[in-house]
Amino acid sequence: MLKTKELIEKLCDIMSVTGYEYKAADELKELVSPYFDSFYEAVGGAYVGVKKCGRENAPRLMIDAHFDEIGMVVTDIHEGGYLSFSHMGGLDRRIMAASEVYIYGKEKIYGVICSKPPHLQQRGEFKKLQKLDEMLIDTGYSKEALEKIVSIGDGIGFYEKTASLLGNRICGRSMDNKCCAAAAIIAAATLEKEKMECDLYVTLSFREEESMAGGCVGAAYDIKPDAAIVTDVTFARFPGVDDYESVKMGEGPAVSLSALTDRRLTNSLIKLAEGAEIKLQRTVDATNTGTNATALCMCGDGIPTAVVSVPLSCMHTYNEIIDLGDIEAAAEIFKLAACSAEIFA
Amino acid sequence: MNRKTEGADLLRALCLEFGPSGCEDRVADLIKENIEGSYDELVPDKMGAVIALIRGNGKSDKKVMLSAHMDEIGFMVREIREDGLICFSSMMGPDTRIMAGRRVTVGMPDRLNRGVIAMKPVHTVDRGDRDKAAPVDELYIDIGASSKEEAEKYVKIGDFGTFESDFVQFGENGRLLKAKALDDRLGCALMIETMRKIYANKDKLAYDVYFAFTCREELGMGGARCASHKIRPDYALVFEATAVADIYGVPEISRVATRGEGGAVSIIDKGTIYDKELVELVIGVAREKDIPCQIKKYVSGGNDASHIQRAADGVKCAAISAPCGYIHTASDVIAVSDYEAMCDLAVAVLERIDKNA
Amino acid sequence: MLNYLRELIKIQSVSGSEEKIALYIKSEMEKYFDDCKIDAMGNLICHKAGEGKKLLFCAHMDEIGFIVTTVDDKGFIHFAPIGGIDFVAAAYSKVVFANGVRGIMVPEEGLKSDDFKAEKFIVDIGAKDKKQAERLVKTGDTFAVEPSYTRLRGSRICGRPIDDKIACAILMAAARDAKSFKNDITFVFSVQEEVGIRGSKVAAFSCRPDYGIAIDVTATGDGHGSKPMAVSLGGGAAVKIKDASVICDGALVKKMGEIADDEGIKWQREVLTAGGTDTASIQMAAAGCKVGAISVPTRYIHTANEQIDTNDAEACLALVVALAKTKLA
């Protein structure tokens, strides 16, 4: 039995900073290929797991979860082993001071992002965030030794490992979007082939955090799916976040109602969920879903696309919080979709 | 379970323990277990300090006190919201840049929970406010509860919090250590190791030595003041961590001290002008025994010495601090070699005051 | 008294480095007091046992100054202030180190006086590089603006540091009358007043007096553009009612006024809206005591030219002696 928490933990342990997803290939393949008939890396930028129902000319369902995570890139190496860096994906500068990172050079090196000692700060400076190019990473190496291991252009990821909170909740780095990837993988792993009404393509795509289009588009161009579900995280309700742009954690995943997504496909997902008494929330993203769906739906001849998202707190920090129940519910919905002929009408 | 350890394991265990200012019980217990068999007497203290006495051979009537504080920077639970999020007060100043997004431990000594200092996603911060730190009243601790009712089963108003942070050895040949609360558990670990060494040879010790593991230093209240008032030592040595700026791009005049060049001996800081003779003695002993040590080159910070020096009718004080990068965050960083040098220096200085007394 | 002042001015005593001046004062005090000792922090505590209440008089020995933090490659000395330094007053002054080395205190070129602060200043001792400078000066050395003593017209003098060496001189002069004292008298020459009234606190703790009286300088309201204040140069000894750090004991203040009137000593009432003195720490030491303070009106405090009227200092001296001679209840 595939345990949700364990799978998420293992997926999060795989470094996949935007632009460095290629480094994840071996680890990811070893971890998830047993759950698919085939597993390959698409040229466009996605790992693709395929599970076929076994019938000729079955319709194709694509479930896309981006696999990249926010991180950084080395831009300079200084005396005393200090590194300058820039962002890969949208970094939250509120959390950077004294944060811990791994630098992925020839080997993995630990570092701490320097915070400014109080005696060097102007009065009231604590209210201002430093610019990224003013920040440094302390590696504890001499410049000479460091240059043998790290080069400009190497990737940097946050340090945090997954950890448990109360009940079903967990926190850690790169929950965005490994938790959704886990939901898609769990769905594929637990689907019974005889019940499937389609061939399932799970794409774990690259570069969402930088381009919002990602590698899924190229992969889809080859796969030519008849329907696609993009799964990504969305804002959990939180003080200061408007109710209309957030959903409640622990109350199930959410479908996006948007001018870009396919309403018929979306409605069939809602109906499937209702039939199985799975809690499904709704978000309204009128003109932009903020996910790969925006680009994916216009790929090739066009792909009917729906978005199923999972509530997440502290997005783009190294302690993103999710509820495992929401992930399991999302996986159930994906399974129902794969076993339903109606979604392809 | 035997929690008696030494070296890096001792330092690790002390750093990982929960002990914000005003709630040092768990650290105190751990220290008591580790000093067992290395003292003659425990001196009761009303403020919660652990004070252990090693008696000298009676040749001198002088008293020496070594001091390090057990507490670390922390938080306190202020309110629990209907949605289960926890509002807190900072006990580490107003700089939220070192709090936002961090993992924390929250509760009381007998019931600890993990939480995250959560704030609204950066995507929803107005463009014009993206250069601003998260306001402290927009930070909440999320322990994973979905309602006030659930949260209150685990956490109550007035509970304490600290950072959760791994103990990591890193850098070239593992020369650096990162942990929370190295300020000042390194001082506690050093005193424990010193007690073990001194106690083994205590017949050579001319006078009584008190080891004070004190409380509430980070509040600036000086739990050490009460310990000092009670003990009335003639000499006090404070073992601490001090903020340094030995990072790339900082001019030499602002660096304070350099990690890896030994313990920093203070001549003056914002709270104390140290006793000249004692400072010279410390530096002299270090030179003579070839133990790395440096002079703190910037007038900044302060520590328990300010309270110890001026408790009762005055005490001659010196302070030796490990240069600590990113101090007062979840990621205090010190050099292993500085800690080791300070341990050596502590023992060497004790042997020497002996001869002067 | 003024001879003492001239001697005291010559002995540098930046806060934390009062050893030398303490030894000088001790050698004089030992002529008149039975028991003179230096405590753990360096306070000089001189005791003259007597009947009745315990009176503590306190004057601080330390002066404001500077401490070396680093020497840079050009041989310039970087430093931090000790005590309340006014850098506008200090800019381009000559300074003297404890070992006699001299230098000039210089701000960054072109720096506006509004932006003056320690980090923007160096001391140029004329060394050509770091190596040469470090032969003369090292981290932790203290120094101060050059001392001076100048007679102005009539009874006025100026120079530095008059704060608070004039008070030390007053107590030393008062000690000559020790035989006529009627109470149990302790004179404390305290350390580290300028960095936060630190020394007097522990001295008062060990003495546990019934009454504590600090002698210090106070500002005046009669200078060029002074803030309104009912203290004038030449107006006599100032009896403190309150300052920013302390409210003096009302009964003691009244008694001091009565004694002054009885003895024909010229005096004035002092309410200082800023600043603090050892009075505050004496009041709060151990279980506390009743405090008062006698101040010498002084213009241009903490500059190189602090100005007083010696008649005021004489009045302060007379009031100290009168108090010590009066049997207090």
Task: Note the pLDDT tens digit of each residue in C268-284.
Answer: 999 998 888 999 999 98
Task: Tell me if B171 is assigned to some domain.
Answer: no
All domains in chain A, ordered by first residue: 4-69+173-344 (3.40.630.10), 71-158 (2.40.30.40)
Task: Give yes or no: residues B89 and B132 share one domain.
Answer: yes
pLDDT confidence band for B355 (50 / 70 / 90): low
Structural domain of B124: 75-163
Tell me which chain A residues have a C-beta less than 8 angstroms from the C-beta of B142: 165, 313-314, 321
Tokens in use for C276?
A: 């603090």
Contact across the interface for C40 and B234, Cβ inside 8 Å: yes
Task: Give yes or no: residues B338 and B202 share one domain.
Answer: yes
Distance of CA A97 to the CA centre of its chain: 24
Q: Which residues of C touch B (CB under 8 A)?
A: 15-17, 19, 39-41, 43, 67, 69-70, 72, 78, 80, 82, 119, 139-140, 192, 195, 198-199, 201-203, 205-206
Residue A111 contacts residue B170 (beta carbons within 8 Å):
yes
Does the pTM surpass 0.80? The reply is yes
Task: Give yes or no: residues B112 and B82 share one domain.
Answer: yes
Contact across the interface for B309 and C41, Cβ inside 8 Å: yes
Nearest to A94 among B119, B248, B329 (CB): B119
Tell me which chain C residues have a C-beta less than 8 angstroms from the C-beta of B234: 40
Task: Give yes or no: residues B221 and B275 share one domain.
Answer: yes
Helix axes A175-190, A324-338, angle to 10 degrees: 40
Residue A238 contacts residue B120 (beta carbons within 8 Å):
yes
Task: Give yes or no: residues B321 and B283 share one domain.
Answer: yes
Give the amino acid at C262: D
Tell me what the mean pLDDT of segment B323-352 comes to: 96
Helix (H) or strand (E) holding C308: strand C306-309
Contact across the interface for B253 and C203, Cβ inside 8 Å: no
Q: What is the pLDDT of residue B356?
A: 56
Task: Tell me if B225 is assigned to some domain.
Answer: yes
Contact across the interface for C80 and B267, Cβ inside 8 Å: no
Task: Tell me if B173 is assigned to some domain.
Answer: no
Going A185 to A187 to A190 to A193, the CA torsion angle's sign is negative
Task: Give yes or no: residues B80 and B190 share one domain.
Answer: no
Task: Note the pLDDT tens digit of each residue in A148-186.
Answer: 999 999 999 999 999 999 999 999 999 999 999 999 999
pLDDT confidence band for A218 (50 / 70 / 90): confident
Residue ranges of chain C with pLDDT lower than 50?
A: none
Q: What is the predicted ipTM?
A: 0.91
Tell me which chain A residues have a C-beta less than 8 angstroms from the C-beta of B171: 81, 110, 139-141
Task: Note the pLDDT tens digit of each residue in B156-179.
Answer: 999 999 999 999 999 999 999 999
Task: Give yes or no: residues B153 and B185 share one domain.
Answer: no
Q: What is the pLDDT of residue A180?
A: 97
What's the total number of domains in chain B? 2
All domains in chain C, ordered by first residue: 2-63+161-325 (3.40.630.10), 65-145 (2.40.30.40)
User: Rounded distance, CA C161 to CA C306, Å?
Assistant: 7
Nearest to B250 among A120, A235, A319 (CB): A120
Distance from CA of B53 to the nearest CA of A (A): 36
Phi, then psi, of C46 in degrees rounded to 5: -115, 125
Give the amino acid at B67: S
Q: Which residue has the tokens 């903490």?
A: C302
Tell me what the mean pLDDT of segment B233-238 comes to: 96
For residue B66, CA distances in Å to A303, B33, B263, C66 come to: 73, 19, 15, 29
Contacts of B27 (CB under 8 A, 6+ apart): B14, B17, B18, B19, B70, B71, B185, B188, B213
Q: How would you classify the pairing of strands C156-160 and C148-151?
A: antiparallel
pLDDT confidence band for A286 (50 / 70 / 90): confident
Contact across the interface for C70 and B252, Cβ inside 8 Å: yes
Hey, which residues of C are catalytic here? 193
Tell me the DSSP string of B71-94: -B--EEEEEE-TTS-EEEEESS-S
Chain B residue with the nearest C-alpha to that of A84: B248
**Residue B121 belongs to a domain with what CATH number?**
2.40.30.40
Helix (H) or strand (E) holding C284: helix C278-284
User: Rounded distance, CA A252 to CA A324, Å?
Assistant: 10
